[in-house]
Structure 1
């Protein structure tokens, strides 16, 4: 489980390859969904990263529900991770329309309710919402069920705050005129999600170790 979570966080960071591959995207103003939009030359690279992430998290979340003590907050967290996995798969199956095709819908997702325009935006919204629920649920669990999930009270909390600030940045800037580097905000948000998944993996490893050491 721990290895799967760390690998999932790594694979969900496949967008970092935009700085290596010639995708010609503007990280300041473009959204990550544009990297695997229909017709993009390296779509398979980024969509494969998402597929592997979801494939790793589905059995991991199910194992978490089965192996760890049933507590309300952690149960919500594992279920939310399952929802995140399903939404991520939907993201891959429902990519944005090709941004380069004349007359095609724009790739930008700046509208607060972009799901009214493209199915992909709805699946992305569900994915972000699901993992946000998971992060908050596990963070609350880390404080409520002491001494368990210590890593999530320390390192995980940093990523929670970082992701929350980026989300507020996006929501506020979305309702203002002008450009406010929404691409940077989203990359910080998704980066925080990836790091949190890795932190959850470390927390799971420590929980398993502590259980073995407990007489």
Structure 2
């Protein structure tokens, strides 16, 4: 699952903010602020978002082939591709209103579908991921309603890290079933 790995790596490019003078507060500004107009490295972060989106879109068909033939597994693969489409839109039109809502919704649907078809041990990971996504989404909604600041940046970064982690774990779950068997 090289495409999912590339997508996760590019999606995690926001971590570069700790090495570049971005002018974005990691405590109070959401990750999406890195792509806002006027930010010094916005083109770097927009390009990374576009690459991650394209990688997630292109990983959809292989994910469908690797996943079990069941609607919940197909929903998981489709959610990854939809998340990729939304990431590409985000790269083209950063800070678009409503796009954050759609991205969260796509991710929650994908994580929820994992809960429905992953086996017992893996299902615990899916439940933890879904819980983290719902908790950070709710926290971001509450913090945004309070106005600027209020540690929104921390919650946004926890959410981004959780998304990347759950995508990587999901790919590894599917990939482990397709490794060559050693006699």
Normalised by the size of structure 1, how large is the TM-score?
Answer: 0.75
Gaps in structure 1 of 5+ consecutive residues: 97-119
Q: Are residue 135 (structure 1) and residue 111 (structure 2) matched?
A: yes
Alpha-carbon offset, residue 177 of structure 1:
6.8
Deviations 1:7-47 (A, max 9, x none): 32221111111111011211121122211112322112111
Q: Are residue 64 (structure 1) and residue 34 (structure 2) matched?
A: no
Deviations 1:148-185 (A, max 9, x none): xx5x4244443333332222222333445785311111
Contact 1:88 1:124 in 2 (8 A): no
RMSD: 2.1
SS at match of 1:17: helix
Partner in structure 1 of residue 159 of structure 2: 189
| Cα distance in 2 for residues equivalent to 1:124 and 1:181 | 18
SS at match of 1:59: helix
Task: Specify whether residues 164 and 83 from structure 1 end up closer, same or farther in structure 2 by C-alpha distance, changes over 3 A only.
Answer: same
| Cα distance in 1 for residues equivalent to 2:24 and 2:52 | 23
SS at match of 2:22: coil
Partner in structure 1 of residue 85 of structure 2: 86
Alpha-carbon offset, residue 67 of structure 1:
4.0
Number of residue-to-residue matches in the alignment: 181
SS at match of 1:12: helix
Task: Specify whether residues 64 and 35 from structure 1 end up closer, same or farther in structure 2 by C-alpha distance, changes over 3 A only.
Answer: same
* Structure 1 segment 79-158 matched on structure 2, within 5 A: 79-96=78-95, 120-142=96-118, 146=119, 150=121, 152-158=122-128
Instruction: Kindly name which structure, 1 or 2, has the bigger radius of gyration based on alpha carbons.
Output: 1
Gaps in structure 2 of 5+ consecutive residues: none
| Cα distance in 2 for residues equivalent to 1:14 and 1:77 | 23
Question: Which structure is higher in helix share?
Answer: 2
| Cα distance in 2 for residues equivalent to 1:34 and 1:133 | 25
Partner in structure 2 of residue 208 of structure 1: 178
